[in-house]
Amino acid sequence: MSDIQIRIVGRAGRITLTRPKALNAMTYEMCLAIEDALDTWRNNDEVHVIVMDAQGDRAFCSGGDIAELYETGTKGDYAYGQKFWADEYRLNNKIFTYPKPVVSFLQGFTMGGGVGIGCHGSHRIVGETSQIAMPEVGIGLVPDVGGSLMLALAPGRLGEYLGITASRMNADDAIYAGFADSYIPQSMWINLISALEETGDVAQLEPHIKPAPEGTLRQHQEQIDRLFTGEALEDIRRMLADDDSEFTAKTLKAMGRNAPLSMAATVEMIHRLRGPSLSLEKALDLEYRFTSRASEHGDFLEGIRAAIIDKDRNPSWQYATGDVPIAAVAKMLAPLGKNALTL
């Protein structure tokens, strides 16, 4: 497949995304190819470690290739999207539970579906150019591909902040929020990958880990915890509006671009997940309840139209005033019964 290179090099199972001009956006076929490789290598004693990287300087993976989802959804075919998300989430879970080390090198943009394949492994490496985000609320979805798990686990109320603003994290921010593990200067990556291929030993990484240049999330933690404690989106918006600061002005501006229904559901999802019963299976199940309904009942198709198709950046969202009924959120997150996600 020209979009991806899958091979065994030495003691490493190697997966390289090869769509740099498309910011390595992941197609459905790429998703299935990665899953097949992981299944094949699981019991292969020659493969000691999985190493994932991508060509180009701009992105590890900017997300899923959503053109097909839009084309089928606008024709009333919602089954394609439902199958795409179900298969993608199954892959995310396999990476998370994989019995061998999975090392990912996350340069440039790692967003949405890129988080799903790059941020569930055992060793998530970031560098100088890393920009990690869950931007789904900007296109009428919710943070998915298991991203809601990391948002629920993030310190304090960072999960709500990152989930409904779609803010980008640099290397330090990503490590702090739990989306990455280690900072290694990108000039070292090529030699490190060669060492992993030769030895199959993730201990090769340790001597090269450095302190990341400081991000911004740490300094805003106290403010975020104070302003994002609300039980619902409406509560958070009210608290932000009552706080006169440059930070809250930027935050409200970012939220103003996003789908209110998606933001409200994101807050509810994080609140449901946070606690001792949190698991990736629970997170993916909740995400799928929303995404499987997003084309027919949510704002996904309108979000894609405005951002990708017409590029007018002027979506006509449901509940555009920001007042999202509790019943609307409950409908999007209701159990799917026989159509529930199976992993």
- Annotated catalytic residues are 64, 113, 136, 144
HEC states along 313-335?
CCCCCCCCCCCCCHHHHHHHCCC
Pair 70, 305: CB distance under 8 Å: yes
131 bridge partner residues: 109
User: Which residues are CB-neighbours of 150 under 8 A, at least 6 positions away?
Assistant: 115, 119, 159, 177, 178, 179
CB 179 within 8 A of CB 168: no
C-alpha to C-alpha distance for 89 and 231, rounded to whole angstroms: 27
Please give the radius of gyration of the chain, using alpha carbons only, rounded to the nearest integer.
Answer: 19
Cα–Cα distance, 102 to 122 (Å, whole number): 5
* Bridge partner list, 64: 26
Amino acid symbol at 225: D
Distance of CA 175 to the CA centre of its chain: 14
Triad 107, 113, 114: Cα angle to 5°: 10
